Amino acid sequence: MVDELVGPAPVDFFYHLGDVVYPHGEETHYRSQFFSPYAAYDAPIFAIPGNHDGEAFRSRTSSLEPFVKTFCSPAPRLRDAAITVRRPLSRQPHVFWTLVHDWMWVIGVYSNVHEDGEIADDQLEWLTGELLAAPPGVMVILAVHRPVFSIDTVHGSNLALRDAFDACFARAGRVPDAVFGAHAHDYQRFTRRHGERQIPYVVAGGGGFHERHEVGTGVLKLPASFPGLPDLTLEAYESAHHGFMTATVRRDGAHVVYTAVSDQGSSQVDAFRIAPGTAT
């Protein structure tokens, strides 16, 4: 990831899809799991919390307090005096928030601590409002830690979350151009049909935790379809290695690459395009 910060088209920032610190988002673990590993990453790092980041109450700390100190506090922030961090301070407005650019909006929601995800009505109303506010022609990416679709052997899909998001899309009259999630410790890319559009639903959760989640059995050939989900197709997956996703966004769309990383090096294992549109 640091290598992508240099060259003719350097990466501008890293957007973390949650579970920054294990096991319960403890402040004492931010040094070993965040400040130290990302010390050489001098571009901004933004984030939405995962379920583990919201479990700090188990260590007698207010839920999400260390995450808020790190990503949402202008000063004083959570830091480690022994580690020099050269990147700018994030200063996010909230744990669910929208990153706004001239031709891209990233709407990040917080799926809370419950294993299956849990988004309150006020946050869903906020999501609907953000979809309504996004200018026509701007690419909209919905980021949420708990993925809507997954065939990993640990978590699986969350159709209740699908229905809640679909209701927001219907009320706003706008479907995001892509939905990015994590939670499952692997990479999976689905295509879902929304009317005449093909929307990528991506799981990019293979960042660095030692436990990796295998995909379910029965996926013998890609693309793969599923009984009961006629609008969904699995296009690609990678569960054997850690990895990260890089999106190059321009006015006419985005090119996205997933890179797998091992002790032997790195390799591109998937690539796809996101086409912006405002149709439901």
Q: What is the pLDDT of residues 131-163, one digit of tens each?
A: 999 999 899 999 999 999 998 878 888 999 999
Domains of the chain, first to last: 2-274 (3.60.21.10)
Per-residue model confidence (pLDDT) at position 209: 74
The secondary structure of the chain in percent helix, strand, coil, rounded to multiples of 5, reads 20, 30, 50
From 280, 100, 72, 27, select the one nearest 174 (Cα to Cα): 280
pTM over 0.75: yes
Higher pLDDT, residue 259 or 239: 259
Q: Where are the beta strands (DSSP E) in the chain?
A: 14-16, 45-47, 97-101, 104-109, 139-144, 178-181, 187-194, 197-204, 224-226, 229-238, 242-250, 253-262, 265-274
pLDDT band with cut points at 50, 70 and 90 for residue 280: very low
- For the segment 243-253, the average pLDDT, to the nearest whole number, is 94
Per-residue model confidence (pLDDT) at position 80: 65
Burial of 107 (0-12, 13-18, 19+ CB in 10 A): buried
Report the C-alpha gap between 267 and 116 in whole angstroms. Answer: 32
Report the C-alpha gap between 53 and 71 in whole angstroms. Answer: 12
Q: Which 8-state DSSP code applies to residue 32?
A: I
